[in-house]
Amino acid sequence: MKQKILFITGSINQTTQMQKIAAEMLDYDCWFSQIFIDFPPFQWLVDNTKLVSKTILSGQFKANSEKYCLENGLRMDYKAQLNHYDLVVYCSDLIIPDRMLQTKTLWVQEGMIDEYNTIGKVIKKLHLPPYLAIGTALNGASNICDVYCAASEGYKNRFARIGTDRHKIIVTGIPNFDNCEDFFTDNFPHENYVLVATTDNRETFKKEDRPAFIRHCVKIAAGRKLIFKLHPNEIFERAIAEIEEHSLIDTIILKEGNINPMIAHCDEFITQYSSAVYVGMALGKKVHSYFDIKDLKAQMPIQNGGKSAINIAQVCCDFLNFEGKKGDFMKAYKPKITEKEFNYD
């Protein structure tokens, strides 16, 4: 019988990354599940309240991910009820049920990680559950999975500095961010514009002065057309009303669409805390971010011509075929990784 792999999904970005990895593993029995938790009190919150509806555990994230899986013929086993698995591939190590740790586990970085702030530091100091950080600040730093696949050497250094054993981390690159040059081939029906990617700060309980941010974008645009691409987790009605009130120039507001071709064809790119800033950097755009640009360059996902899914799939195969104790796999493993030089300046 084929060995079984469960790919844990979350946002559409995380879900499509998992799909790309699974597509390289046709000799295995691949299944998919939205991220879940077994702790009954927390599950009650998921099922009966809206307190976590803006997280990847439920709400539109779960609905969109499961819709995508069904439309693309991906077999689903929510909460791993149907099968016993030989490997579980995670997009987040913030919430992993104890029963899933009985098998081999591998973590794949999704994109940008939130700033390691005071809340995250307190949680690490007190050894509290990492999901209490309310965001992704501790994603990749929980040291709970057997293998970690990172976007770059810069991110490997970050995860190791915060808490994950360095020998567990492999720089594989990550799907969706490893071949940005390809986005130039996609069409977008606008030109000579400044693109703005907003984030869901307020929906995920973070502070934000959105009117001030909009006015800052207007200043950067300096009379050029502004296009706002809203985060899918935002409250659209509020965001649109604020932009219309504070932009007062030629402005287009988009609620849907692939942001990558928008970035490829823009004159300048403004972000807050979006992973899309890496696409802009890779394409040579002038970018603005709440993160320090120097730090972003150090953490820039490697560009390998779209080989990251193959890299990660190879690690999965090697791990599945490893016959020793799962904790011993990374101690002497030497992965074969495809990478090429790229100038981020």
Q: Is the pLDDT assigned to residue 342 strictly greater than 90?
A: no
In this prediction, residue 339 carries a pLDDT of 57
Q: Give the pTM.
A: 0.88
pLDDT tens string 309-327: 999 999 999 999 999 999 9
In this prediction, residue 296 carries a pLDDT of 92
Expressed in angstroms, the distance from the first to the final Cα of the chain is 49
Q: Is the pLDDT assigned to residue 345 strictly greater than 50?
A: no
* Domains, in order of start, for the chain: 4-178+302-332 (3.40.50), 180-299 (3.40.50.2000)
Q: Residue range 122-134: average pLDDT?
A: 88
pLDDT tens string 158-197: 999 999 999 999 999 999 999 999 888 878 989 899 999 9
Least Cα distance to 165 among 116, 68, 93, 240 occurs for 93
Q: Residue range 36-47: average pLDDT?
A: 80
**Percent helix, percent strand, percent coil in the chain, to nearest 5:** 40, 15, 45
Average pLDDT, the chain: 91
In this prediction, residue 105 carries a pLDDT of 98
In this prediction, residue 344 carries a pLDDT of 41
pLDDT tens string 275-295: 899 999 999 999 999 888 899
Q: pLDDT class for 45, splitting at 50, 70, 90? A: confident
Instruction: State the amino acid at position 292 in one-letter form.
Output: D
Q: pLDDT class for 341, splitting at 50, 70, 90? A: very low
Q: Is 84 helix (H, G, I), strand (E, B) or coil?
A: coil
Q: How far is CA 6 from CA 67, 225, 232, 267, in A?
A: 17, 45, 26, 41
